[in-house]
Amino acid sequence: MADTEQITVEDKEGVSVVRFTSNKILDDIIVQKFGEELLHLIEGESSKKVVLDFDGVEFLSSAALGHLIKVDKRAKSNEAKMVLCNIRDSIYEVFAITRLDTVFTIKPSLELAIAEIG
């Protein structure tokens, strides 16, 4: 298991499961760091299947959404797969309003996300 400042990464069944170390991804510096860490993970040779587990995340800034879009584009260009899971209803509403729920693959649980990316 690799740990960084804003995320932890654990391998489960050949999938890199990313968890966030903060329950609020709001601060510009935190958002920038988590974006950089996710890009580094996606661009690595070993992480072609990534699940972002939002369990415990209560708030997500619009800047964080921007970084997620950037990471998703980079993942697709690197032929990596990315699935999001365990997103709270209040955060999911933002994904739905911005139509990002049609851009990202979002599953209600970690188990379903791993099965999806399998």
**Could you tell me the pTM of the whole model?**
0.88
Q: Which two tokens stand for residue 93?
A: 């509403």
Parent domain of 91:
2-117
Query: Residue 114 in contact with residue 14, Cβ under 8 Å?
Result: no
Residue 109 DSSP code = S
**Mean pLDDT, contiguous 10-residue spans, the chain (118 residues):** 68 89 80 81 79 93 89 89 96 94 96 94
CATH classification at residue 69: 3.30.750.24
Tell me what pLDDT residue 30 has: 77
Tell me what pLDDT residue 3 has: 45
**CA separation for the pair 31, 37 (Å, rounded):** 10
Termini Cα distance of the chain? 19
User: Looking at the 3D structure of the chain, how many domains does it have?
Assistant: 1
